[in-house]
């Protein structure tokens, strides 16, 4: 579910970045609908993965500036830290944009239901364990796929042998013969 929410947000953001703005996007959203969206975003931790953007940018800027001006390391660190802290308040802009994206995609009722579920013990457990479960399911699907492939090939080979029987020598020749070179 969390992954689906990320994918939905990414899709909506890509549409905006690409300049695709529909009439639905431009419509006015009620305060209660935006509030429901903010609750859902908070409950599903939709924007938590962006928490490191500002600190990472600040660290990158520090490294770049210090590499070019090693004699100013202390001053660079102080100035970058001060300016970074001054921008922390802009984090709310991301929350507002995310709330608008969710409000455009989902009804107020759905957003309230999402928030209610993810604030429950079951929802919190899903958020905490969803990635682990997803990896386990992916691994299981790989094992299942290999087993199905093996069994399908075996069953098809048996049926083909019934329809067009071959001698053991022909079977060995088909499996060991290298393709003819042109």
Report the distance separating Cα 65 and Cα 77, nearest Å.
9
- The DSSP symbol for 70 reads G
- Which tokens is 133 given? 């479960």
- Which tokens is 65 given? 């500036």
Q: pLDDT means per 10 residues in the chain (182 residues)?
A: 47 46 62 96 95 96 97 97 96 95 97 97 96 96 97 96 80 56 47
pLDDT for residue 6: 47
Q: What share of the chain is helix, strand, coil (3-state, %, to 5)?
A: 85, 0, 15
pLDDT for residue 20: 40
| Contact indicator for 112, 51 with CB cutoff of 8 Å | no
Radius of gyration of the chain (CA): 28
**CA distance to 61, 82, 83, per residue, from 77 (Å):** 9, 8, 10
Torsion of CA 22, 25, 26, 28, to 10 degrees: 150
- The DSSP symbol for 165 reads -
């Amino acid at each position: 579910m969390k992954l689906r929410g990320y994918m939905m947000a990414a899709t909506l953001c890509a549409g905006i970045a690409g300049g695709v703005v529909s009439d639905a996007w431009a419509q006015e959203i009620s305060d209660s609908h935006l509030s429901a969206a903010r609750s859902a975003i908070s409950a599903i931790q939709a924007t938590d993965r962006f928490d490191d953007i500002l600190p990472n940018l600040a660290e990158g800027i520090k490294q770049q500036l210090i590499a070019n001006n090693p004699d100013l390391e202390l001053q660079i660190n102080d100035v970058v830290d001060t300016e970074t802290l001054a921008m922390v308040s802009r984090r709310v802009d991301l929350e507002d944009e995310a709330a608008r994206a969710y409000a455009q995609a989902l009804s107020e009722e759905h957003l309230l239901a999402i928030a209610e579920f993810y604030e429950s013990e079951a929802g919190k457990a899903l958020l905490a364990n969803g990635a682990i479960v997803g990896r386990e399911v992916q691994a299981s699907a790989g094992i299942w796929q290999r087993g199905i492939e093996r069994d399908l090939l075996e069953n098809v080979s048996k049926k083909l042998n019934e329809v067009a029987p071959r001698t053991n020598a022909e079977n060995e020749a088909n499996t060991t013969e290298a393709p003819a070179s042109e």
